[in-house]
């Protein structure tokens, strides 16, 4: 189940959004007595990282956390029902891909956003703009693909309902 979730989204952080997957991960780690069981490449890093690499990775994780969180809130506000998780999964996949190829303007905004996030100030004007920036990351075809993922999940749910109704 863990591997399937990872293969679907390409990001281990998505596992933390699914309580069933978290329970499965805890069970496997308890049985194997190893953190990261089932993901040896992530639990045994062959090369040590430098402090600069660690800092860059932490910034990247924080950025993804903020962007993906706001994206999830945006999708949940639409109330897609059983299609919500599929839309979020597709959108997250696209966001991660997009974050690897930012324009100079987007990169500057996201760098400033991370810097602002680390300040102790309650005033965070860049953070207040994040939902609009997240919205702008997608082209109309990207939004359409996210909608199609939700539609397909709803259709699958409907088909399951029809099949189970026939046997009831």
Mean pLDDT by 10 residues, the chain (168 residues): 64 67 72 59 64 88 94 96 96 95 95 92 91 95 98 96 86
pLDDT at residue 146, as a whole number: 98
pLDDT of residue 31: 73
Q: What pLDDT does 140 receive?
A: 97
User: For residue 69, which of 35, 113, 3 has the smallest C-alpha distance?
Assistant: 113
Q: What is the predicted pLDDT for the residue at 5?
A: 61
* Listed residue (74, 81, 63) closest to 135, CA to CA: 74
Model pTM? 0.69
pLDDT, residue 110, reads 96
Closest CA to 136 of 92, 106, 104: 106
């Amino acid at each position: 189940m863990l591997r399937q979730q990872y293969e679907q989204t390409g990001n281990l952080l998505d596992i933390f959004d699914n309580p069933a997957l978290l329970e499965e991960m805890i069970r496997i780690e308890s049985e194997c007595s190893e953190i990261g069981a089932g993901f040896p490449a992530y639990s045994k890093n062959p090369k040590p990282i430098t402090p600069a690499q660690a800092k860059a990775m932490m910034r990247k994780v924080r950025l993804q956390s903020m962007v993906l969180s706001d994206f999830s809130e945006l999708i949940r506000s639409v109330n897609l029902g059983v299609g919500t998780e599929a839309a979020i999964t597709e959108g997250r996949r696209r966001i991660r891909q997009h974050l690897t190829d930012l324009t100079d303007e987007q990169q500057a905004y996201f760098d400033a956003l991370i810097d602002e996030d680390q300040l102790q100030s309650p005033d965070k004007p860049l953070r207040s703009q994040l939902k609009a920036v997240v919205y702008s990351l997608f082209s109309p075809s990207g939004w359409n693909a996210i909608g199609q993922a939700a539609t397909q999940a709803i259709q699958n749910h409907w088909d399951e309902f029809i099949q189970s109704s026939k046997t009831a």
